[in-house]
Amino acid sequence: MARKILILTEGLSSPHAAKTACGVIRYRRDEVVGVLDTTVPPQPAQALLEVGGDLPVVNSLDALPEANELLIGIAPSGGSLPAPMHALVLGAIERGMDVVSGLHEFLNDDAELAAAAAASGSTLRDLRSNRERDVAKRRDISADCLRIHTVGHDCSVGKMVTTIEVARGLAKRGAGAKVIATGQTGMMIEGDGCPVDAVVADFISGAVEKQILSHQHHEVLVIEGQGSITHPCYSAVTLGLLHGCLPDGLIYCYEMGRKMAKGAASVALPTIESQRDLYLAMANAAHPCRFVGVAINSRTADETAYLAERDRIQLEWNLPACDVFREDAGPLVSAVLEMRKN
Amino acid sequence: MARKILILTEGLSSPHAAKTACGVIRYRRDEVVGVLDTTVPPQPAQALLEVGGDLPVVNSLDALPEANELLIGIAPSGGSLPAPMHALVLGAIERGMDVVSGLHEFLNDDAELAAAAAASGSTLRDLRSNRERDVAKRRDISADCLRIHTVGHDCSVGKMVTTIEVARGLAKRGAGAKVIATGQTGMMIEGDGCPVDAVVADFISGAVEKQILSHQHHEVLVIEGQGSITHPCYSAVTLGLLHGCLPDGLIYCYEMGRKMAKGAASVALPTIESQRDLYLAMANAAHPCRFVGVAINSRTADETAYLAERDRIQLEWNLPACDVFREDAGPLVSAVLEMRKN
């Protein structure tokens, strides 16, 4: 049965809070039938989320009876299901809709939701639920597959979209490229991957290594980054991922004007130059690696400021740089293809 | 009821494989009544484990009927209960003994063991089982509590014993010091702590931060390190711990002659100097920090080689250095007290 996805953003319908919703709408638009938020008037998704065009935002499950899947469209720090969403999820289950969630708190662990799903025949898919129990082995890693990894200054600076745009750009130019999704939104878009931030600590690098070993028959793997190597909450995830995927090349992602760490507002971000050096040092401790490009998120900047920033970075870092939305990922794709040749 | 601990090492009775057993015998000797291994002849623990003096190693549960607790004395990579141990654990439960385990695979998740415990009234304590779900906040960290963290070149180089010896040395010299245990053996010895390597990835630093906040009324916290910042399997654990405990001072721990990473035999260890610089860079990205001393594990070296190494390190690193077993932790304790004064 074709998926007809209704995305739940209840009370959290902003491009930042509903990051998961926006990603799925952007890259799986043909499977999405609407957005559910009872706290706002019905309107086009574009007005609310800055993506989705005329995709309808609706007030009730009744408004889109053809929907057969409810997708939780948020990714809050801590990963609990917000209380206002619970009744809507239950209502969807009672209609027999499947529910897809990337939260740390599992739908299947909620007795009321699980009982309702058993009664209605709904499937509850907890993307972060995993039983990863293998440590990394650093064996059988192919030198014929180029591994490119997006790393970032902070959370929510554009690592996932850069990953997807680079992989799609490579495919368009004839290279066999595959995204290794490492977060819930990336997994919803790509259809596979590993929820690395939900893996038990000892097995983080091992879980990532398994993804590499499974997919290294592709010419290029583009591995989605998470958090940042200096993030107060998530640096462990970032390093486990870096040492699990052993990149040959890194793409640095940052947002112009970002000063404080997302989710830890009292913590200033390091300079992008000092952080770049930490990434290089930590990556090269495991595998020879260099930066191949920079993805600038310029959403808060005007065109003039963006162009000046892009020119400065290209000059000072001696690397191609671009905003993959404002322009496209072309310069990064070319840099990866160049590395592939050498 | 006083604990009378029987330590199970079945078929794995070497100082390295039975690291947990050795730690508990060394620091909780008065609560341990024996070691159970049916694969070796009865003998004193000292002969088998190089610790424990005349503590008996026995062949069956019948040999020490006074034992009221079975403690799994191993900490294998991956953390499963070895098959030969299963029947012995079941036998202990059927006698009504409690069982303590630091494995990743939980006793309580084994239907046969759980049913037997329900029948006999035994308690199954899975030390690694946790529900840590708080991200780090970097708030309310006291500047009045000195945080000292042991970090290492590799797994199993002496971080835990250095932690305990330094904390005990501080207490003897009148400083209010507390160990923050972060691994199963440390937790068995200290009686509290956090199994950091078993926490879900997003919450590693948050779990460690909670330990700091709970205990920072002490003058000095000595935080047990895990793995290494370059370990192929466990670097994520190490960095999450480093960024969760925000040390003021670090003690570097290494073993003379160690060349390859434990658990990843094809991976060469970096030089101790290059790794020291990585620790400093990553620690200082979060909080001002310096090394205060070096703990040399010289178990495979003779006295002459050890003394030469110690002198070299003290000169080249400009820090006090010692083997805490061969000598004692005095120089490290003095260095911590000196830092406390300043």
The string of pLDDT tens digits covering residues A263-309 is 998 999 999 999 999 999 999 999 999 999 999 999 999 999 999 99
Q: Which domains does chain B have, with CATH numbers?
A: 5-126 (3.40.50.720), 146-341 (3.40.50.300)
* CB spacing of B230 vs A285 below 8 angstroms: yes
Instruction: Dump the DSSP string for B73-131.
Output: ----TT-PPPHHHHHHHHHHHHTT-EEEE--SS-GGG-HHHHHHHHHHT--EEETT---
Contact pairs from chain A to chain B, CB under 8 Å: 150
Q: Which residue of B has its CA nearest to A104?
A: B133
Q: Do A285 and B274 touch (CB under 8 A)?
A: yes
The ipTM is: 0.96
Residues 150-209 of A with CB under 8 A from B: 196-202, 204-206
Residue A76 pLDDT level (bands cut at 50, 70, 90): confident
Query: What pLDDT shows up at residue B341?
Result: 86
- Chain A residues with CB under 8 Å of B232 CB are 136-138, 205, 243, 286
Q: Determine contact, residues A295/A332, Cβ cutoff 8 Å.
A: yes
Angstrom distance (rounded) from CA A78 to CA A67? 28
Window 307-336 of B: residues touching A by CB (8 A cutoff) are none
Question: pLDDT > 70: what percent of chain B?
Answer: 100
Is the CB of residue B227 less than 8 Å from the CB of residue B233?
yes
Chain B residues in contact with A260 by the CB 8 A cut-off are: none
Residue of B nearest to A286 (CA): B230
Q: Which residues of chain B make contact with A228, given a CB cutoff of 8 A?
A: none
Q: If residue B185 lies in a helix (H) or strand (E), which one and from where to where?
A: helix B184-190
* Inter-residue contact B180 to B211 (CB < 8 Å): yes
Tens digit of each residue's pLDDT (9 = 90 or more) over A187-245: 999 999 999 999 999 999 999 999 999 999 999 999 999 999 999 999 999 999 999 99
Query: What's the pTM?
Result: 0.97
Q: Compute CA B294 distance to the chain's CA centroid, rounded to the nearest angstrom.
A: 17
Tell me what pLDDT residue B166 has: 98
Best residue in B105, B106, B151, B202 to probe A by mutation, most A CBs within 10 Å?
A: B202
The pLDDT, as a whole number, for residue A37 is 97
Q: Tell me the C-alpha distance between B51 and B303, whole Å.
A: 20
Q: CB B200 to CB A104 under 8 A? A: yes
For Cα atoms B105, B110, B112, give the angle at the middle one, nearest 5 degrees: 155
Q: Residue B1 has what pLDDT?
A: 81
Question: Looking at the partner chain, which of A105, A264, A282 has a beta carbon nearest the beta carbon of B138?
Answer: A264
**pLDDT value of residue B79:** 82
Residue to substitute from A132, A139, A141, A235, interface B, most B β-carbons within 10 A: A235
- Rounded percentage of chain A residues whose pLDDT exceeds 90: 96
Nearest to A235 among B243, B266, B267 (CB): B243
Residue A274 distance to chain B (closest CA, Å): 9
What percentage of residues in chain A have a pLDDT greater than 70?
100
Option in B79, B137, B235 nearest A205 (CB): B235
**pLDDT for residue A78 is more than 80:** no
The helix or strand, by DSSP H or E, that contains position B5, with its residue range, turns out to be: strand B5-8
Query: Which of 58-77 (A) contact B at CB < 8 A?
Result: 77
Residues in contact with B159: Cβ distance below 8 Å, sequence separation at least 6, in sequence order: B150, B151, B152, B224, B225, B226, B253, B295
Length of chain A: 342
Sign of CA dihedral B22, B24, B26, B30: negative
Phi/psi at A64 (nearest 5 deg)?
Answer: -135, 70
- Name the residue among B105, B135, B278 with its Cβ closest to that of A77: B135
List Cα–Cα distances, A313 to A163, A280, A316, A319, A323, in angstroms. Answer: 20, 17, 5, 7, 12
Tell me the average pLDDT across A69-98: 93
What is the predicted pLDDT for the residue at B78? Answer: 77
The pLDDT of residue A306 is 98
Hey, of A80, A205, A233, A279, which one would you mutate to test binding to chain B, going by the most B CBs within 10 A of its CB?
A233
- In this prediction, the residues of chain B whose per-residue pLDDT falls under 50 are none
Q: Which of B202, B232, B243 sits opposite A136 (nearest CB)?
A: B232
Chain A partners within 8 Å of B286 (Cβ): 230, 232
CB < 8 Å from B in window 88-147 of A: 104-105, 133-139
Q: Do the bridges between strand B146-152 and strand B220-223 make them parallel or antiparallel, or are there none, so unpaired? A: parallel
Q: B200, A232: Cβ pair inside 8 Å?
A: no
Determine the Cα–Cα distance for residues B342 and B334; give it in Å rounded to an integer.
13
Element (DSSP H or E) covering residue A222: strand A220-223
Query: Are the beta carbons of A136 and B264 separated by less than 8 Å?
Result: yes
